[in-house]
Copies of this chain bind each other. A is one copy, B any other.
């Protein structure tokens, strides 16, 4: 009886551990060849031929472009440099990519966003950063990170960062996909041209408020509304 109770208890606590295998390519690497003088485009990646391995050098597997910050947005105080095969072709088929994020001293913010295809591990290289994510149950996990600390943002979960220090902050993030993708919540929801009837009822915002948001995040890209 105690045993039966124990069995149930054991089963109750027992292991939702999702054993999983990491992926693998069918060759060592494949540095894409976009054609003379043409940049590699993410949308065409799977279609590029591989460069002949005999013509590759170590430089094809080294990237120098995250030594400095990108351009700061005056609105958010955020500067981001994403490094995928578009910038660093050697990453193709290797299942990883990375990014540098800088946040201005005066409360720079990396707005709520998510990466549909990757987990991110973020290392604070400088500054103090309030960072967090929200899981699919709506729970917030947020904390102030100091220099040298690493936070992990699980795949496809909404996350954000805020500079809470007096100096600029720098974060180095890496991803377990060569093309993690990024969905920025504000522009996706308020700047893509979704009918106001949807947003009014979903968010409880007034038409005037919605219009202000749409002005800030729009206009929609050559929108496909109504087909």
Contact = CB atoms under 8 A, between A and B. Distances in A.
B38 A192 contact: no
A208 B191 CA distance: 22
Contacts of A19: 17-20, 26, 46, 93
Contacts of A209: 205, 209
Interface in A140-185: 140-158, 160, 162, 172, 174, 176-179, 181-185
Which size bracket describes the interface of A in this complex?
35 or more
B174 A62 contact: no
B7 A157 contact: no
Contact of A157 (B21, B57, B116, B176): B116
B197 A107 contact: yes
A186 B203 contact: yes
Given A43-B27, A96-B119, A203-B213, A160 B194 contact: yes
Nearest to A174: B174
Contacts of A119: 94-96
19 contacts: A6-B6, A6-B7, A11-B44, A17-B19, A22-B24, A22-B178, A47-B49, A58-B143, A75-B201, A111-B198, A112-B198, A114-B116, A114-B156, A136-B182, A138-B191, A140-B220, A158-B189, A174-B174, A203-B213
